[in-house]
Amino acid sequence: MSPQTSTYVVRGARVLGGEPTDLVLRDGVVAEVGPGLSAAGAEVVDAEGLVALPGLVDLHTHLREPGREDAETVETGTRAAAMGGFTAVHAMANTAPVADTAGVVEQVWRLGTEAGYCDVQPVGAVTVGLGGERLAELGAMADSAARVRVFSDDGHCVADPVLMRRALEYVKAFDGVVAQHAQEPRLTEGAQMNEGELSGRLGLQGWPAVAEEAIIARDCLLTAHVGSRLHVCHVSTAGSVEIVRWAKSKGWDVTAEACPHHLLLTDELAATYDPIYKVNPPLRSASDVEALRAGLADGTIDIVATDHAPHPHEDKDCEWPAAAFGMLGLETALSIVQQTIVDTGALDWTGVAERMSYAPARIGRLAGHGRPIEVGEPANVVLYDAATTRVVDPADTASLSRNTPYAGRELPGRVVATFLRGRATVLDGKLT
Amino acid sequence: MRRHLLSAGDLTRDDAQLVLDTAEEMRSLADRPIKKLPALRGRTVVNLFFEDSTRTRISFEAAAKRLSADVINFSAKGSSLSKGESLKDTALTLEAMGADAVVCRHWASGAPHLLAHAGWSRSSVVNAGDGTHEHPTQALLDAFTMTRHLGPLDGRRVAIVGDVLHSRVARSNALLLRTLGAEVTLVAPPTLLPLGIEGWGVETSYDLDAVLPKADVVMMLRVQRERMNAAFFPSVREYSRRYGLDARRMATLQDHAIVMHPGPMIRGMEITADVADSDRSVIVEQVTNGVAVRMAVLYLLLGGSEAAIGGAEDRPSGGGEA
């Protein structure tokens, strides 16, 4: 990575898919926008035919450090993020030790600053050790240098209704949000895949949709009751979309995310017994996929978040019930969104910018990200070639892990360049 | 060309019939003084058991030995809680030792599938029971036993009674018996029937008494007492009263109807002792037939050049949609 900040003239980029224009990125901001621009000593980037989007923001990333540096580190994870067009990621709290104190969140935040490939905004645990029993020191994490605003026990559900109520209330003091991993634990003991006809046939224990929907419904009601802010992680079922739509119709402050894999893949893949397709919440049915796409298009689902979950090879190269849950997502997210939402006509690039940049930054209260590509705004920009295709090869990933479910699949689009505050983290499709 | 027997659903009607016909020939061997054929001399069959099952293991062992194969028994400890030695490393070891067939029993559904398709080994794989998924040789020996008593199974009514949700025997039987033209009714309390069972192409019933008078075969499944603790049913007593096979219920069967159980039985739970030991019970015969059917399966997978059961070709497991 080059240490110095250069000036870039980006030529012919289609901002949000609009008419080609030039951009000057200087001193960390978008300095000029318009046709025929030039700047002394600037590096010229030919962006003819490329779509320019605001730097993507992921509200749901597992960077694994500290504790599982065999799966991912802040450095490798943020490299993968940059390759995927992200300029900021929220690092989930389920590390070892758990990010449940000011000390741990500051450590993760500092590692992100040192890596430099994208901003790392730590998520704080809701409960001590993700144990679901006592509130973590949410205020201390909020007041720390990491300025935590998103709190989540992701990987575990805050199942205790009293604890969830208190967490929702408590975070109001610093404009925080509780991001719930909605999974009723008793209904999902030993669960392996979506519960349906196929789970019965395959003899894999079912993960019923109701286990997600019941928690979402409860939490929406709690949120309304205490007047707080709820974010629902990785919505995966048609019923969940309906519940969130209903909560929004009431005017309650509920936001929701969908993951790329839930927008594309279905539970049929479990029939391979290949745990590369094992994820939590599980891949669902084709009708759930349709409902998620529709929810994303009409704004019921506010954002796309990756749930990027790296795992070492041995944790996936084994029997399905013994394998870890989760799949990589950072480097393929934009392509999956293009394939499932843009190429289908459900959303245009303005919509993609909203779902993958503006809204996640807003929900995370993240300053300096999710801003439009306009003069004076931070120069967080992605240049994306939507006209090309590529075949996913796990060996190519910048992540330390290889557990992508898209191996061998042809996906549309490719990130050509990513700029973080005017500095290129990716150029010509390669990390700088 | 490689062949595996992973699921009863992989068998065509011709495949299944070939196994049953071959088993009939193998069965006749049991009545001879020297119960041995040279068919698999020089071939190695490994019994790879990640889950204890003495009955199934000795049945496969007897089958392989009667075909003159070299038999290696490999018990690998491990469970969903303590992973133990990995399936992959075990498979690589067996491959290095030159196993021709691996008979795999595993606590994890799909483990034999992985063994056959993950590219770790070139052996033929026989599923000897995987998790709550399938147990295809059990279904074959059940069909063989039914055929010996009732003739061709077309239109025959088979009631399978008990813990269908957790039963690999029920799954394999439902698949195979349909292929052979039988009408299957799965009988259980609603808690012990899998969601989406409507798609299995079988009948279901919550009422054992209504099903028995029409049945040609009643197959009782083992029901673990511990299921009671997870609220699948209120008590052993209530389960037995509603779904157990006792003398009173047996009296409602047609004269020719037979009673089966894959073992091990819990007498007094799903079946009373007098029923298990009655003339209608073919439970002991199932064990004898098990050896003959497993001989047929091993013979057809390893012996003949035209071996034609199982169907599963070698294909990679990763990537792409299945």
B86 to chain A: closest CA residue: A318
Measure A89 CA to nearest chain B CA, in Å: 27
Segments in chain A below pLDDT 50: 1-3
Q: Which domain holds residue A402?
A: 8-51+376-431
Indicate whether A157 and A39 sit together in one domain.
Answer: no
Residue A423, SS3 per DSSP: strand
In this structure, is residue B36 part of a structural domain? Answer: yes
CA pair distance A56, A357, nearest whole angstrom:
5
What ipTM did this prediction achieve? Answer: 0.89
A203 chain-B contacts, CB cut-off 8 A: 109-110, 130-134, 168, 171
pTM: 0.93
From chain A, the residues in CB contact with B135 under 8 A are none
Q: Is there a single domain that holds both residue A65 and residue A131?
A: yes
The nearest CA of chain B is from the CA of A320 a distance in Å of: 7
CATH number, residue A171: 3.20.20.140
| A370: CB partners within 8 A, 6+ apart | A54, A57, A357, A358, A359, A360, A361, A362
> How high is the pLDDT of residue B225?
79
Q: Which two tokens stand for residue A416?
A: 């050509």
What is the C-alpha separation between B142 and A213, in angstroms, rounded?
42
> In 3-state terms, what secondary structure has residue A315?
helix
Instruction: State whether B156 and B233 are in the same domain.
Output: yes
What's the pLDDT at B321?
A: 33
Range of the domain at B226: 136-285
Q: What are phi and psi of B23, to 5 degrees?
A: -60, -35
A290 and A420 in a common domain: no
| Beta strands A150-151; A177-180: pairing state | parallel
In chain B, % of residues over pLDDT 90:
76
DSSP, collapsed to helix, strand or coil, labels residue B160 as strand
Residue B84 binned pLDDT confidence (cut-offs 50, 70, 90): low
User: Of B13, B55, B225, B237, which residue is the catalytic one?
Assistant: B55
* pLDDT confidence tier of residue B35, bands split at 50, 70 and 90: confident
Q: Is residue A368 domain-resident?
A: no
B214, B296: one domain: no
Using the Cα atoms of residue B90, residue B96, residue B98 and residue B100 in order, give the sign of their dihedral: positive
Do B293 and B240 fall into the same domain? Answer: no
Q: Are residues B115 and B164 in the same domain?
A: no
Q: Is residue A230 part of a domain?
A: yes
CB A392 within 8 A of CB A49: no
Residues B155 and B274 in one domain: yes
* pLDDT value at residue B1: 30
- Provide the 8-state DSSP code for B78: -
Pair of tokens at residue B73: 């028994």
Say whether pLDDT at B312 is over 90: no
Option in B109, B117, B322 nearest A203 (CB): B109
Domain boundary among A335, A363, A391: A363
Neighbouring residues of B170: CB distance < 8 A, sequence distance ≥ 6? B160, B162, B163, B164, B186, B221
Q: Say whether A197 and B113 touch across the interface (CB within 8 A).
A: no
Start-to-end Cα distance in chain A? 5
Q: Do B80 and B18 fall within a single domain?
A: yes
Residues A86 and A26 in one domain: no
With an 8 Å Cβ cutoff, are A272 and B194 in contact? Answer: no
Q: Contact B318/A321, CB-based, under 8 Å?
A: no
Query: What would the two tokens of residue B165 be?
Result: 């949700």
Same domain assignment for residues B95 and B227: no
Residue of A123, A224, A139 whose CA lies nearest to A178: A123
Report yes or no on B321 lying in a domain: no
A268 lies in the same domain as A409: no
Residues B151 and B177 in one domain: yes
Kind plus residue range of the DSSP H or E element containing A25: strand A20-26
Whether residues B83 and B130 fall in one domain: yes
Mark B155-174 as b/e (b = at least 16 C-beta within 10 Å).
ebbbbbbbbbbbbbbbbbbb
A317-359 pLDDT, tens digit per residue, is 999 999 999 999 999 999 999 999 999 999 999 999 999 999 9
Q: Is the pLDDT at B83 greater than 80, yes or no? A: no
Task: Quote the pLDDT of residue B316.
Answer: 37
State residue B320's pLDDT score: 34
Check: CB of residue A42 under 8 Å from CB of residue A82.
no
* φ, ψ at B320 (rounded to 5°): 60, 165
Total domains in the fold of chain A:
2
For residue B134, what is the enclosing H or E element?
Answer: none
Separation of alpha carbons A318 and A325, rounded Å:
12
**Domain containing B96 — which CATH number?**
3.40.50.1370
Residue A385 maps to which CATH number? 2.30.40.10
Q: What digits encode the pLDDT tens for the residues A82-97? A: 999 999 999 999 999 9
Burial class (CB in 10 A: 0-12, 13-18, 19+), B135: buried
> Would you state the pLDDT for residue B85?
72
Nearest to B195 among A206, A274, A318 (CB): A206
**Do the beta carbons of residue B214 and residue B157 sit within 8 Å?**
yes
Is residue B316 one of the residues assigned to a domain? no
At A287, list the tokens.
Answer: 């009708």
Question: How far is residue B104 from each of residues B39, B171, B199, B288, B311, measured CA to CA in Å?
Answer: 21, 17, 28, 21, 18
B164-190 pLDDT, tens digit each: 999 999 999 999 999 999 999 999 999
Residues B113 and B187 occupy one common structural domain: no
Q: What is the pLDDT of residue B29?
A: 84
- Residue A141 sits in the same domain as residue A280: yes
pLDDT at B307 > cutoff 50: no
DSSP code string of A11-63: EEEEETT-SEEEEEEETTEEEEEETT---TTPEEEE-TTPEEEEPEEEEEE--
Residue at which a domain ends, from A363, A392, A417: A363
Q: A262 and A236 in contact (C-beta within 8 Å)?
A: yes
Q: Helices (H), strands (E): how many in chain A?
A: 12, 19
**Domain annotation covers residue A3:** no
A364: which 2 tokens?
């995370």
How distant, in Å, are the alpha carbons of B147, B209, B234, B270 from that of B251?
A: 22, 11, 27, 16
A319 and A225 share one domain: yes
Q: How many domains does chain B have?
A: 2
